[in-house]
Amino acid sequence: MRQIDKLLHQYGESHQHNTNIWIHGIAVPSIFFVTIGLIYAIPVPDMIAQFNLTFAHILAIPMLMYYFKLSGPIGAAMTLLTIAVFAGIKGLEILGISVWQFSVALFIVMWVLQFIGHKIEGKKPSFFEDLRFLLVGPAWWWMHFLKRLNIQP
């Protein structure tokens, strides 16, 4: 069994209840967005800023490499999500909305929702067992879309 299949199966074991799945369908990509937003908001030294880079841009590279190592389609899908996240962050900036304040507020709301989902599910979040599941969540989210397109994650 491929590593991605094993991880997605293990993650899916604690995400069976329809309400929990629905909550995670909203919360997982939102948490991905705001986590990148929080990292994006960390001030960077001038030598990095001169290239219009942030720590979020720098950390996106090894993160995406991890996803591509697990699965080409998941890596490609996560690349699209990451590009959309950076576009969303730029949108917040254009609108004059504080990226870090928006991210903190949404981070808290989405994690509360996730824990409500797990309370309904009756199972603890997967990342309590293995921190890798914090990265597997977005891949699991994409897996549902890829399967509808008949693409093997």
Q: Would you kindly state where each structural domain of the chain is located, as residue ranges?
A: 17-148
pLDDT at 88: 98
Q: How many CB atoms lie within 10 A of CB 2?
A: 11
| pLDDT score of 153 | 65
4, HSE (Cβ side, Cα atoms, 13 Å): 18
End-to-end CA distance of the chain: 13
* Tokens representing residue 104 in the block: 């903190």
Q: What is the mean pLDDT of each run of 10 residues along the chain (153 residues)?
A: 84 86 91 96 93 96 95 92 97 98 97 94 83 85 77 69
Residue 127 confidence (pLDDT):
83
| Structure-token pair, residue 1 | 């069994």
Sign of CA dihedral 62, 104, 37, 19: positive
Which residues neighbour 9 within 8 Å (Cβ) at sequence distance 6 or greater?
Answer: none
